[in-house]
Structure 1
């Protein structure tokens, strides 16, 4: 069965789809949607409360402990002895949130002195110790 043949057989029913009414219906629907969509998307003006988004968590200050080549200990660039170091560590351990101890040691200092400072920090209650080094050039 061929569609649209010109054999002269007019007895058969022509089964082609007429596209004109379909296009007309689609254009009408398009116009209806163009008109009704702005009405649907209306907004109600309300006065919303304002909130601040500042974080409540405060970041603690880092403590810089330096050890020079002679084994002298500096707490934030101030020279301290072993008892003052222990007292400062105990005071820093009581802060909330607890600060981080940044340990800088001279290349020529004995490791024993660095280990003493680390042990004092551990016994004093500081849980975070960071080592500060210089990169190779």
Structure 2
């Protein structure tokens, strides 16, 4: 009446089959990990160009060559409303030079890029450039986009 028989399929018989039978599979299934990594790769490839510049500007176009550089420059942006940004933070024009002097690692030899919107008043860009030049910064450059052929 009990399950003590040899072929009864009880607890004892299952346990003995595992010991003597096939080994437990201990390999890691990497397919889900590869799927997750591919999804992350696609997300980062799409998001990376969006993270390059914090201040949206419509830059003028020119056919000048790109400047070779060894490290990341300081970027001053002037949007179409005339607001001035140091990197991604808005800053009053009067505080621009003291902030630059405080954060410039190479002193007055620090590379500074000025990005001005295509529609911004020329006088506003010249006021920023004049302050930088008057403060003694020597490596100031204007940034533009590559000109698209017609």
TM-score, L = length of structure 1: 0.51
Closer, same or farther: CA 97–73 of 1 in aligned 2, 3 Å: closer
- Which protein has the larger Cα radius of gyration, Structure 1 or Structure 2? 1
Q: Counterpart of 1:104 in 2: which secondary structure? A: strand
1:129 corresponds to which residue?
A: 140
CA offsets per residue over residues 33-66 of structure 1, 9 Å max, x none? xxxxxxxxxxxxxxxxxxxxxxxxxx66411000
Q: Counterpart of 2:146 in 1: which secondary structure? A: coil
Higher RCO (CA 8 Å, separation ≥ 6 residues):
2
2:98 corresponds to which residue?
A: 87
CA RMSD of aligned residues (A): 2.1
Q: 1:83, CA displacement in angstroms?
A: 2.1
- Runs (5+) with no aligned partner, structure 2: 1-69
List structure 1 segments (4+ residues) > 6 angstroms apart after TM superposition. Answer: none
Q: 1:130, CA displacement in angstroms?
A: 1.1
Aligned pairs, how many? 79
Closer, same or farther: CA 93–121 of 1 in aligned 2, 3 Å: farther
1:75 corresponds to which residue?
A: 86
- Runs (5+) with no aligned partner, structure 1: 1-58
Closer, same or farther: CA 84–97 of 1 in aligned 2, 3 Å: closer
TM-score, L = length of structure 2: 0.47
Q: 1:128, CA displacement in angstroms?
A: 0.7
